[in-house]
Structure 1
Amino acid sequence: MRLSGKVVVVTGGGSGIGRALVLQLLGKGAQVAAVDINEKALQETMALAQGSKQLSTHVANIAEQEAVEALPAEVVVRHGVVDALINNAGIIQPFVRLQDLGYEAIERVMRVNFYGTLYMTKAFLPHLLARPEAHIVNISSMGGFLPVPGQSLYGASKAAVKLLTEGLYAELLGTSVRVTVVFPGAVATGIAAHSGVEVASAGRRPAIQPLAPEEAARRILAGVERDRFRVLVGPDARLMDLLYRLAPAWATRFIRRQMGALLER
């Protein structure tokens, strides 16, 4: 789907990949409704967009069903229609084993990552189906297809997003709505801080440097404009996708070795 002239809703639009998506969509001539729980972060995104009349901001907690169900009407009042939805907002869990992860943290991760995506999709899907062409983009994670110790619950939430999106793709074949699932690898977004998670340095430089959010956003939007079914973002995501398909147990042990320092803190 060509993005110029389209109205696109982006969750997590106040920072990281979400902010980069908002700014690049505006640069492509789209109108954007940026959604985030953090009002100050949305104001910063608006300032970076130089107060663009093509951008609206909406403060909402996507983990709350009622708040999400009110969003489509707000967006339609401001922009007239909705052509695309990018479910980008997400959080990680504390870097601990599942046995040490409290239920409050478990429920928070699932509510934001899975139920937030589900609520947004169900709320906006009737509007998207009414358009001559439309698109849903759900951001999963490399951790959604590859087990990452210390992030097992996060991975489960993103694996749920993966299968939800793939099932939605199958259900919407023959309609005007295209569906894309995205698997980012390491991206320099500050997601740990936004999730309220402390991450101690492992004392060594990672083998693969994280992508800049702007580059991740560019690759995601390129995939959308090509109507790609799945988009792997970053060399680590592409490499581990291949290795996990060829030798899943070996790939799992490899990731365990990489994560060992964090787990043994």
Structure 2
Amino acid sequence: MISIKDEIVLITGASSGIGASCAKVFAQAGAKLILAARRKEKLQEIADLLGKEFATQVYLIELDVRDRQAVEIALNSLPEPWQNIDILINNAGLSRGLSKLHEGDFQDWEEMIDTNVKGLLYLTRYVVPGMVSRGKGHVVNIGSIAGRQTYPGGNVYCGSKAAVRAISEGLKQDLLGTPIRVSCIDPGLVETEFSQVRFHGDTERAEKVYQGLTPLTGDDVADVVFFCVTRPNHVNISEILLVPVDQATTTLVHRRN
């Protein structure tokens, strides 16, 4: 296992769920964190906790990854000590709605594609050139089992996550001959704010998604991300499909009640 002490780790979607869990596991290991999300107050809470518990150095960016100009400005205006990003975790992502494609909401489509695909591309485009020039770096993209298997009503979300997987494969090919590593982590059911966001705040409907089974947690996924980036430098874990024991496919799930 290689040490990531004092490495600079940029995590998008860091205000909750998998992103917040990644922040904690990397803080424990002594990394310096750049945390980006739309909710600055939530980021500040996380930063305060990590500072108290681990004395972690944290730089916060209030950022909507869908806004390319905002991404450019945020990254180009990083203070000098924070500019050399060692690890990029493209975690920002969401799902909206569960409608049939021919009944889908255009705004939901735009939000998913702009966040899950274009946002990931923007961050990658602005961060990776620095990694290449320094000869050091690791990009971790958080995909989904939905990028491998579709399900009813998942149409555009599944398409966006299939794109994440394809982009990860393409990036790895483009970086062949450099020391830069690329990993794509595809979780199944993870109990975070994901379903509440999908159902536009309908908590009761969101809770039913995880009823009668034991889903993954954000910490479970963060552990896998951490494992990937701490392998020896000649080892690249290209992709991982991570599911709870109670889940076999996107639609085949065991519920105990």
CA–CA distance in 2 between the matches of 1:95 and 1:136? 30
2:220 is the alignment partner of 1:211: no
Aligned to 1:23: 24
Aligned to 1:79: 82
Aligned to 1:180: 183
* Deviation per residue, 1:140-181 (Å, 9 max, x gap): 100001102122111101101110110111111110211001
Alignment of 1:163-174 (within 5 A): 163-174=166-177
1:10 Cα deviation from its structure 2 partner: 0.3
Larger mean Cα displacement after TM superposition, 113-122 or 68-77:
68-77
> TM-score, normalized by length of structure 2?
0.86
Which structure 1 segments of 5+ residues have no match?
241-251, 259-265
- Greater helix proportion: 1
Amino acid at match of 2:142: I
Match of 1:198 among 195, 202, 205: 202
Structure 1 residues 203 and 190: alpha-carbon distance in aligned structure 2, compared to 1, 3 A threshold: closer
Aligned to 1:248: none
Structure 1 residues 164 and 187: alpha-carbon distance in aligned structure 2, compared to 1, 3 A threshold: same
Look up the SS of the partner of 1:166 in the other structure. helix
Aligned to 1:233: 242
CA–CA distance in 2 between the matches of 1:59 and 1:116? 14
Amino acid at match of 2:4: L
CA–CA distance in 1 between the matches of 2:33 and 2:164? 23
Match of 2:112 among 106, 109, 113: 109
> TM-score, normalized by length of structure 1?
0.84
Size of the aligned set, in residue pairs, is 244
2:138 is the alignment partner of 1:135: yes
Which structure 2 segments of 5+ residues have no match?
none
Aligned to 1:34: 35
Look up the SS of the partner of 1:92 in the other structure. coil
Amino acid at match of 2:202: E
Structure 1 residues 78 and 38: alpha-carbon distance in aligned structure 2, compared to 1, 3 A threshold: farther
Contact 1:75/1:82 (8 A) holds in 2: no
Aligned to 1:124: 127
Contact 1:56/1:78 (8 A) holds in 2: no
CA–CA distance in 2 between the matches of 1:130 and 1:116? 22
Amino acid at match of 1:69: E
Structure 1 residues 203 and 54: alpha-carbon distance in aligned structure 2, compared to 1, 3 A threshold: closer
Match of 1:96 among 94, 99, 113: 99
Contact 2:213/2:246 (8 A) holds in 1: no
Look up the SS of the partner of 2:9 in the other structure. strand
Structure 1 residues 214 and 97: alpha-carbon distance in aligned structure 2, compared to 1, 3 A threshold: same
